[in-house]
Chain A
Amino acid sequence: MVSASNVVKFFGKKKVVQDVSIQVEKGKITSLIGPNGAGKSTLLSIVSRLITSDEGEVRIDELDVAKCRGSELAKKVSILKQANHMTLKLTVRELVSFGRFPYSQGKLTAEDERYVDEAIDYMQLTDLQHTYLDELSGGQKQRAFLAMVIAQDTEYILLDEPLNNLDMKHAVQMMKVLRRLVDELGKTVVIVIHDINFASCYSDNIIAMKNGRVIREGTVNDIIKPSVLKEIYDMDINIEDVNENKICVYYA
């Protein structure tokens, strides 16, 4: 279980995360939603130790993130931030192989190779495995990065806006893969996501943030309600039931 307690983070004098405490359930997809500047990405970065909090602590299965060795944590939790700006010219397979770094320190064993093969296969990249990343489309690239995370084989996978720059088809594919990671492989996935309907259709739990605070948390049914969404986004949002999914209608 991931638990953050009383986390505070300042950027300069601005308090971007204010006394946040959350608990993330194992084996579920948890979506972090909220308006721009709510502190979602910052919170995710703190949980994954990319940035350190000014107050409070984060624990992942009883490991204190601030004190635990980075190489140990890398076997438990992985994070993928918006990766479009990575300019390194690597092949897909090379990239995915680096996912095994926490285990192999670069010297791949037969077992590591097996994990790499599986991850590439899982993301349907076998035909592209020797292609350089800069020759891939946005969707393929994103799949390659996710394959790397899968090869890292961590129980917890944190993703910061994984649907950014993806078209509808690839966005749906990405969410289905995340769902499979949870349902088939038993992973725990936490995502920061802007599209409320993807959060509604694919996640189990939702944590809503606003102005650096958590204002609501609960299951999809608890959160996807006009009254709650009004509180989060300051706008009236209708909710329609379509094929057992709750779809938010807010375009007009």
Chain B
Amino acid sequence: MKKRYLASALVLFAVGSLFVGVSSISPMDLLDLSEEQFHVLWNSRLPRLMSILLAGAGMSVCGLIMQQLSRNKFVSPTTAGTMDSARLGVLVSLMLFTSASPLVKMSIAFLFALLGTFIFMKILDRIKFKDVIFVPLVGLMFGNIISSITTFFAYERDLIQNMSAWMQGDFSLIVTGRYELMFLSIPFMIAAYIFANKFTIAGMGEDFAVSLGLKYRTVVNTGLILVAFVASSVLLTVGMIPFLGLIIPNIVSIYQGDNLKKNLPHTAMLGALFVLVCDILGRVIIYPYELPINLTVGVLGSGIFAWLLIRRRSREA
């Protein structure tokens, strides 16, 4: 797959998505937009598109970095407790400051996500038995423990309703003023690209990294900070999107290997494209109603994920 095919598909679907929705706007109307059409386009469709692109790219890049640093193809923000920890952070911020601003919520979510991911990596260091499937299982268990703590306190404080909003990924509520936090993740993704070579070397293992003069721990920690930040910005604006950080980097790795500098642009674009296509599908299948993004990504994603697992097993056999 060539980068320019990916880019043109992305542009095509991105532009197309602007004209899919309940209030009809066609490309022809662009020349003479009514005030209402302009409002819909500017305050709803465009923000939605931006958040889809950023969330898709962001979660995929997070997954890629985590897989590289943990040296396991099945580790991602949703299988290593990152997202669950971030959600616990949101709960804590709601409990401490009843009307926390999005930025405060995000900062606390970020700190929790970072801590959670860090603990997961520490657990990884301790496990002797590093089976490809065992490691993400530990991550899932770890995430579930954190999630149950969140649920417990949310029940106690009557915040269940509030919290479930962050459970489910949802683009339909995105309008101007509710997603701008996501732009903060852009510099972090650029930073990921700058660090790409170091992440690749870290992925070779600590011995290689040290022999090549890399400060291994510093690089791993930098990666975790990038991941925690991008993941919490997505969680707070869009919510959890399952599978994304898992399947996109794996698909890219299959067709062009694990050299991060080469992979990052592909991963970001393919991730954005995948979410965009899922979102458009969700919008048209039961038109004029919408399927939640979790459903479309979940169905398509679990199918692809199952295929990846089978493919891997049959190659090992």
A88 engages B211 (CB within 8 Å): no
A70 engages B197 (CB within 8 Å): no
A74 engages B258 (CB within 8 Å): no
B212 engages A102 (CB within 8 Å): yes
A8–B98 Cα distance when bound, in Å, is 56
A74 cross-chain contacts in B, Cβ below 8 A: 211-213
Interface stretch of the complex, out of B55-63, B115-123, B202-210, B273-281: B202-210
- B6 lies within 8 A of chain A by Cβ: no
A91 engages B257 (CB within 8 Å): yes
Taking CB atoms and an 8 Å cut-off, the chain A residues in 75-109 that contact chain B are 75, 78-81, 83, 85-91, 94, 98-99, 101-102, 105-106
A94 engages B257 (CB within 8 Å): yes
Taking CB atoms and an 8 Å cut-off, the chain B residues in 239-282 that contact chain A are 253, 257-259, 261
Q: Kindly count the residue-residue contacts between A and B in the assembled complex, taking CB atoms under 8 Å apart.
A: 69
A70 engages B213 (CB within 8 Å): yes
A86 engages B211 (CB within 8 Å): no
B197 engages A89 (CB within 8 Å): no
B72 CB to nearest chain A CB (Å): 9
B258 engages A88 (CB within 8 Å): yes
B210 cross-chain contacts in A, Cβ below 8 A: 48-50, 70
A90 engages B201 (CB within 8 Å): no
A182–B206 Cα distance when bound, in Å, is 27
B233 CB to nearest chain A CB (Å): 27
* A50, A79, A85, A106: the one within 8 Å of B197 (CB): A106
A89–B25 Cα distance when bound, in Å, is 46
B213 engages A50 (CB within 8 Å): no
Query: Which residue among A73, A88, A91, A152 has the maximum number of chain B CB atoms within 10 Å of its CB?
Result: A88
Residue of B nearest to A91 (CB): B257
**CB contact under 8 A between A48 and B213, given known A88-B258, A90-B259:** no
Residue of A nearest to B198 (CB): A106
- B215 lies within 8 A of chain A by Cβ: yes
Residue of A nearest to B203 (CB): A88
Query: Which residue among B197, B204, B213 has the maximum number of chain A CB atoms within 10 Å of its CB?
Result: B213
A132 CB to nearest chain B CB (Å): 6
B258 engages A101 (CB within 8 Å): no
Taking CB atoms and an 8 Å cut-off, the chain B residues in 267-310 that contact chain A are none
11 A-B pairs (CB sep. < 8 Å): A50-B211, A70-B213, A74-B212, A74-B213, A81-B207, A98-B204, A99-B212, A102-B212, A105-B197, A106-B198, A106-B261
Sample of 20 further A-B pairs with CB below 8 A, known A81-B207, A88-B258, A106-B261: A50-B206, A50-B210, A71-B213, A74-B213, A75-B213, A83-B208, A86-B204, A86-B205, A86-B208, A87-B71, A88-B200, A88-B204, A90-B200, A90-B258, A90-B259, A98-B200, A101-B213, A102-B213, A106-B196, A152-B212
